[in-house]
Amino acid sequence: MVCFRLSPVPGTGLVLLCLVLGAVSSYALEFNVTDSEKAVCLFAKWQMNFTIRYETTNKTYKTVTISDFSTASYNGSVCGDDQNNPKIVVQFGSGFSWTVNFTKEESTYSIDSISFSYNTSDKATFPDAKDKGILTVRDAVGFRIPLNDMFRCNSLSTLENSGVVQYYWDVHVQAFVQNGTVSTKEYLCEKDKTSTTVVPITSTAAPSPTTAPTPKEKPEVGSYSVNNSNGTCLLATMGLQLNFTHNKVVSIININPNTTDFTGSCQPRSALLSLNSSNVKYLDFVFAVKNENRFYLKEVNVSVYLVNGSVFSIANNNLSYWDAPLGSSYMCNKEQTISVSGAFQINTFDLRVQPFNVMEGKYSTAQECSLDDDTILIPIIVGAGLSGLIIVIVIAYLIGRRKSYAGYQTL
Ligand SMILES: *[C@@H]1O[C@H](CO)[C@@H](O)[C@H](O)[C@H]1NC(C)=O
Ligand SMILES: *[C@@H]1O[C@H](CO)[C@@H](O)[C@H](O)[C@H]1NC(C)=O
Ligand SMILES: *[C@@H]1O[C@H](CO)[C@@H](O)[C@H](O)[C@H]1NC(C)=O
Ligand SMILES: *[C@@H]1O[C@H](CO)[C@@H](O)[C@H](O)[C@H]1NC(C)=O
Ligand SMILES: *[C@@H]1O[C@H](CO)[C@@H](O)[C@H](O)[C@H]1NC(C)=O
Ligand SMILES: *[C@@H]1O[C@H](CO)[C@@H](O)[C@H](O)[C@H]1NC(C)=O
Ligand SMILES: *[C@@H]1O[C@H](CO)[C@@H](O)[C@H](O)[C@H]1NC(C)=O
Ligand SMILES: *[C@@H]1O[C@H](CO)[C@@H](O)[C@H](O)[C@H]1NC(C)=O
Ligand SMILES: *[C@@H]1O[C@H](CO)[C@@H](O)[C@H](O)[C@H]1NC(C)=O
Ligand SMILES: *[C@@H]1O[C@H](CO)[C@@H](O)[C@H](O)[C@H]1NC(C)=O
Ligand SMILES: *[C@@H]1O[C@H](CO)[C@@H](O)[C@H](O)[C@H]1NC(C)=O
Ligand SMILES: *[C@@H]1O[C@H](CO)[C@@H](O)[C@H](O)[C@H]1NC(C)=O
C-alpha cells in the first residue's frame, strides 16, 4: 500500500507570496510504502523540479521547466522482497515518470539509480519537438547510507544528463525501514554537513575578506558570426562576463573568445547564437522579431560546469534586451547587465549585435543603447553651456559698446 500527501512547503509567508505572484507554488512530495502487515517499509519526502532542453523542428532548442507535481501518483512503488529491490515510482503531468531504486548491502543500503522519462509527443509540453516519443535519462547514483538511517539532504543536488537537469532539495528518504518505524537518526549528505559547520562560523565571526567577490578584469571582446547558404546572417561582437550565485557562492567567469566555440542558426523570425567552452557547456542567445519591424534578445539558456563536475543551468525565454529596428544593429559600448535570473546575470562590454538582415557580412547602422546616450548628452550639455556663455559674452560686449558709445558722446 502506498500513502502520500502533497504538503505545502513550510513557511506560509513564502507560499502566500507565490500565490499572490500567481506562480506555481512549490510542493514537497511526501509518501510512504507499507508492507502486507501495514508497517511502513519505505519513506520519502522531497522537493524536485526539472528542466528539459529539446531540439525543435527548426533546429533551435527550447527549454521547458517541469515543476507541477499536483497530479503525482505513486503506482509501482514497492517495498521490495527477496527477488525485487525497493523502488519509488512517481507518475505526473502528461506522461512523466520518475523512478528511483535501492539496493541493500550488509550494513548499508544504496540509492542505486534515478530514471526520468518524458514524452515529447505531448505537443502542449514540448511544442515543435523534432523527435517525438518517450525519452529516458538514467543516472547511476550509488549513494551508500547506513541501514536504519534516514538520508537527508536539504541542500540542492543537481543531476545533468542529455539536456535534462534534475534539481532535488529538502530530501528525506529511508528504504528498508525496520519494524515499521521511520528512523530519527539522520545521515547527512556532504553539502548539508559543510553548510551546518560553515554557517555558525560565518554568523559568529566577522565577515571574512574572502567573501568579497574578487573583482575580475574586463573580458576580452570576441567576434561571433553565423552563416547560412546566403553567407553571414548573424553578427555579434562583445565581451562577456557571467556572474552567477550557486549555493551562496558568487562565481565570475570571463568568456575568453580564443578558447570559445560558437555556432547558431538563422530563421526568418528567430536567430540563435550558441557559445561553448571548457567551463561553459552552452550559452545560447535567442533573438526574435516583434511588431514586424524590430528585433530583440528574447531568450538566454546557459549551463556552466561547476568545480565538482556538476552543472548549473538557467533559462529565461521572456527577456527583452537589445531592442532595435530590423535592418540595423544594436550597439552598447558601456557595461550592460542582462539579468537572466536572480542568480544569473551576464555583463556585456563593447557590444554590437545584428541577428537579422545582415548584408555582405557587415553591420548595418547602429542603434545605440540608452546607456551610451549620455556620451552624446555630454557634448550637448557642454555645447549648450558654451552657447550660453557666448550669448553672455555678446550681450556684455554690446552693453560695453553702448557704454563706450555713450562715453564717446559725452566727450
Ligand atoms: C505514512 O503516510 C500516511 C498518510 O499520509 C501518514 O498518515 C503516516 O503518518 C505516514 N507514516 C509515516 C511514518 O510518515
Ligand atoms: C526549480 O528548482 C530550483 C532549485 O531549487 C529553483 O531555483 C527554481 O526556481 C525551480 N524552478 C521552478 C519553476 O520552480
Ligand atoms: C494508479 O492506480 C490507480 C488505482 O490502482 C488507478 O486508478 C490510476 O489510474 C493509476 N494511475 C496511473 C498513472 O497509472
Ligand atoms: C534500477 O533500475 C535500473 C533501470 O531503471 C536498472 O537498470 C537497474 O538494474 C536497477 N537496479 C537495481 C538494483 O534493481
Ligand atoms: C505520448 O504522448 C502522445 C500524445 O499525447 C500519446 O498519444 C502517446 O500515447 C504517449 N505515449 C505513451 C507511451 O504514453
Ligand atoms: C526491531 O525489532 C526487533 C525485535 O522486536 C529488535 O530486536 C530490533 O532491535 C528492532 N530493530 C530496530 C531497528 O528497532
Ligand atoms: C537567400 O537569399 C534569397 C534571395 O534574397 C532568399 O530568397 C532566400 O530565402 C535566402 N535563403 C536563406 C536561407 O536565407
Ligand atoms: C561565413 O562566410 C564568410 C564568407 O561569406 C566566411 O568568410 C566566414 O569564414 C564564414 N564563417 C563561418 C563561421 O563559417
Ligand atoms: C554579481 O552578482 C551579484 C549578485 O547579483 C552582485 O552583488 C555583484 O555585484 C555582481 N558582480 C559583478 C562583477 O557583476
Ligand atoms: C587571445 O589571442 C590573442 C592573439 O592570439 C592574444 O593577444 C590574447 O592575449 C589572447 N587572449 C587571451 C585571454 O588568452
Ligand atoms: C519554429 O517554426 C515554427 C513554425 O514552423 C514557429 O512557429 C516557431 O516560432 C519557430 N520557432 C523558432 C524558435 O524559430
Ligand atoms: C563545444 O561543443 C562542441 C560540440 O559539443 C565540442 O566538440 C567542442 O569541443 C566544444 N568546444 C569547447 C571549446 O569546449
- Written as one string, the DSSP assignment of 364-405 is -PEEEPHHHHHHHHHHHHHHHHHHHHHHHHHHHHHHHHHHHH
CATH 2.40.160.110 maps onto the chain at 2-194, 221-368
Please list the pLDDT of the chain residue by residue as tens digits (411 residues): 555 555 444 433 333 333 333 334 467 888 889 888 889 999 999 999 999 999 999 889 999 999 989 889 999 999 988 888 999 999 999 899 999 999 998 889 999 999 999 999 999 999 999 999 999 999 888 888 999 999 999 889 999 888 899 999 999 999 999 888 999 888 988 888 765 433 332 233 333 333 334 456 899 999 999 999 989 999 999 999 999 988 888 888 999 999 999 999 999 999 999 999 988 999 999 999 999 899 999 999 999 988 776 889 999 999 999 999 999 999 999 999 999 999 999 999 999 999 999 999 999 999 998 877 654 444 445 555 556 666 666 666 666 665 554 444 444
Distance CA(94)–CA(47), nearest Å, equals 19
The reported pTM is 0.49
pLDDT at 179: 87
Backbone conformation region of residue 327, classed left if phi is above 0, alpha if psi is from -120 to 50, else beta: left
Cβ of 182 less than 6 Å from ligand 1: yes
For 2-194, give the CATH class: mainly beta
pLDDT at 25: 46
Distance CA(126)–CA(137), nearest Å, equals 17
CA of 351 to the centre of ligand 9 (A): 19
Cβ of 339 less than 6 Å from ligand 3: no
pLDDT at 364: 95
Amino acid at position 64, single letter? V
pLDDT at 5: 52
Largest Cα–Cα distance in the chain? 129
Amino acid at position 314, single letter? I
pLDDT at 337: 96
Kind of pairing between the strands at 27-34 and 221-228: unpaired
Mutate to test the pocket of ligand 6, among 41, 179, 183, 184 (most ligand atoms within 8 A of CB): 179
pLDDT at 2: 53
What is the b/e burial string over 249-288, where b = at least 16 CB atoms within 10 angstroms of the residue's CB?
Answer: eeeebbbebeebebebbbbeebbbbbbebebbebbbbbbb
Residue 353 CA: distances (Å) to CA of 27, 236, 357 = 41, 4, 11
Cβ of 229 less than 6 Å from ligand 6: no
Q: What is the CATH number of domain 221-368?
A: 2.40.160.110
| C-alpha dihedral, 325 to 331 to 337 to 342, nearest 10° | 30
Distance CA(57)–CA(47), nearest Å, equals 33
pLDDT at 401: 61
Residue 131, Cα to own-chain centre: how many angstroms?
24
Cβ of 258 less than 6 Å from ligand 7: no
